[in-house]
Amino acid sequence: MKKIALLVLWAGLLTACKMGTTTDTEAPAQLSLQQQLLGTWRLMEDDPADSLQYRTMVLKEDGTFFSEVVREPHRRAYNHGRYRILTDSSMVTVHDEGPDWHASTANVYKVLMEGDRFSLQGYYVFPIGNGNLTRAVWIDEVWVRQKK
């Protein structure tokens, strides 16, 4: 009878110890693409190379973004608009190009997150002339999270 009681006690102790611990192999909760993209980013690589290596972009939680060309101490607005995450690897942007007219196209980009870096690939489509024509430019950019 003592052996059974010791066995039950030992099994209970092992079970209690197991329930109170976590393993180092348990994966942390995955952040959504939008959560990962929130914040300030600096352009590191772009194609076509158009001298925008000083560009920053801020993606906000409310689905808006703005981008600036920063050459201290000067800052100049580059573009702004709205974005929406489509899948865990794609997003769409609608750029507000100026006070008098707005882009009438949505731009779909492939997004690849790698820690504090992400790549953005796709066609940026914008109106030309009086707005009845459009032009598409292939975008291949690498962004790095800007440290505070």
Residue 9 belongs to some domain of the structure: no
Residue 53 belongs to some domain of the structure: yes
Residue 69 belongs to some domain of the structure: yes
- In this structure, what CATH number is given to the domain that contains residue 82? 2.40.128.490
Query: How many residues in total does the chain contain?
Result: 148
Instruction: Supply the range of the domain harboring residue 84.
Output: 39-145
The count of structural domains within the chain is 1
Per-residue pLDDT tens listing for the chain (148 residues): 444 443 333 444 333 444 444 444 554 567 899 999 999 999 987 766 665 568 899 999 999 999 888 877 788 888 888 999 999 999 999 887 654 555 556 789 999 999 999 999 999 887 777 767 778 889 899 999 998 6
Query: In terms of Cα–Cα distance, which of 125, 144, 121 is closest to 57?
Result: 144
How much is the pLDDT for 127? 75
- Evaluate whether 36 touches 54 at the Cβ level (below 8 Å): no
